[in-house]
Amino acid sequence: MTLLMGILNLTPDSFSDGGEVSGVAQALAAAQAMADTGAAIIDIGGESTRPGSERIAPDLEQRRILDAVSAIAAAGHTVSVDTVHVATAKLALARGAKIVNDVSGGLYDPLMLATVAQAGASYIIGHWRGFPKKNYSRSVYRDVVVEVCAALRERIAAALAAGISPARIIVDPGLGFDKTPDQCWELLNRIEELQELGYPVLIGASRKRMIADCVREAGVQQPGLAELDAITALVSAHCARAGVWGVRVHSVPASALALRATAKLGEVDARPDAPVRVKPSKTGVCATAEPGAKHDDADACAMAEPGRGDPLPANVAQPPAGVSTHELDVIAIKGLAVFARHGVFEHEKQSGQTFYIDCEVRLAARAGSAVDDIAKTVNYAELAAELERVATETVLDLIETLAEKLAAAALSFAGVCATTVTVHKPSASVAQKVSDILVTVTRTREAHCALRN
């Protein structure tokens, strides 16, 4: 589920909402309003980073935000502090902030990484070439997505070397930071490449020039907040469909409605007697047919009646006759990293952490290997994508429950007779020093596979 990060600028000169909120009472009221309409995180900033903005001393930034940080954190909200100054970050963390949102990714202040590591805080690494220039003089890229990913990869390595837990790293491509509007849209159109970094992705497009230009292209020469927030909400929906971790927005209600509609579009009929909806394979394999069978109607192919008294989808094809248990083959995925919010403690649900998934599926793959046809085996890329989807779509207390859901997902693939799933939780909240906490489940589909020795 994509999280909403509400922007709370306590500055007189921010590009969109400078001067709208000042004082602790107004800040607390604004934060509560954002939380009431769907914000999971309140991002508090005291220095504008808009193109052409003037730098301020850290002590002025601190006077603007620290009392508000204290009040909003004390009210039970998850607070992120938007700063490049290590002194401000340190004081804000002491006041109850849980996340440091550093648009420079640690490049502005070299002490930032160690400070965040020592505090055990979460850290948002922004892509940065300096405070943005109005004239785009630093916006020259051969391939903006490739170069942004490479730069973020370097900053991730620096953060890890400084001791920041991988479970607490979030990356932000820095839309609008020395990137033209077209380059920003290119980053949004290729979000999956950012996600391949292996860390949660935060997108901050709200009301930026790329949004305003889009409105102007539609003939509105003076875009108002309604138009800007409508396009921002569409971007939020796009991000949610792509599985992005979070979106940073000015208008929480607009994006919250967009995310709600996006979720509705992805819902399935949850009635106990409803047919089970199975995502059609990209290879064109019908999940209800024999391995390798094609189907002209992918939508009809994806409908299968549930098994009687069986909570798992009854769409697993039987292996070829005569196949014995020891003749089944194994396809395995090891160390699939997913960022999720499972855990019995509230801080685990708020901050999240990285889980690692091992999954083995057992099937008769010889038919596929003999003719070199992926349609006659399990596409491990699709399996990995489905495991990631299941692991991130809901919040659970127990990794045992997560393992069960992942096993059910693996067994839904045509031809799979059995699966073993291990969920690793290396950052589990335990008092003792341990290298890993894990749960392993093995589940079979004997009723459908009819395994014979």
DSSP conformation letters of 200-234: -BEE--TT-HHHHHHHHHTT-SS--HHHHHHHHHH
208 is catalytic: yes
Q: Are residues 37 and 105 in the same domain?
A: yes
**Pairing assessment for the beta strands 122-126 and 169-172 based on DSSP bridges:** parallel
Q: Are residues 19 and 116 in the same domain?
A: yes
Half-sphere exposure of 83 (CA within 13 A, CB side): 36
Name the catalytic one among 248, 362, 376, 425.
Answer: 248
> What is the residue whose two structure tokens read 């590009």?
15
Q: Out of 204, 236, 265, pick the residue that ends a domain.
A: 265
Contact 344, 444 (CB under 8 A): no
- The string of pLDDT tens digits covering residues 281-320 is 333 323 222 333 333 333 333 222 322 233 323 333 334 3
Contact 128, 173 (CB under 8 A): no
Q: Are residues 246 and 292 in the same domain?
A: no
Name the catalytic one among 64, 98, 207, 208.
Answer: 208
Q: Does pTM surpass 0.75?
A: no
Q: Are residues 294 and 257 in the same domain?
A: no
> What is the residue whose two structure tokens read 């995310």?
259
pLDDT at 103: 95
Q: Out of 265, 294, 325, pick the residue that ends a domain.
A: 265
Q: Is residue 270 one of the residues assigned to a domain?
A: no
pLDDT at 287: 29
Q: Are residues 341 and 364 in the same domain?
A: yes
Q: Are residues 310 and 417 in the same domain?
A: yes
pLDDT at 310: 30
Q: Out of 265, 284, 319, pick the residue that ends a domain.
A: 265
Q: Is residue 271 one of the residues assigned to a domain?
A: no
Contact 158, 123 (CB under 8 A): no
What's the one-letter identity of residue 329?
D
Half-sphere exposure of 61 (CA within 13 A, CB side): 24
CATH number assigned to the domain comprising residue 346:
3.30.1130.10
248 is catalytic: yes
Structurally, how many domains does the chain consist of? 2
Q: Are residues 172 and 283 in the same domain?
A: no
Q: Are residues 290 and 424 in the same domain?
A: yes
pLDDT along the chain (453 residues), means of 10: 92 55 86 94 88 79 94 95 96 96 94 96 93 80 94 95 93 93 95 93 94 88 88 95 94 94 67 33 30 33 29 34 56 92 87 91 66 74 92 91 93 87 90 87 63 32
- Per the structure, the complete domain to which residue 400 belongs is given by 276-449
Q: Are residues 354 and 436 in the same domain?
A: yes
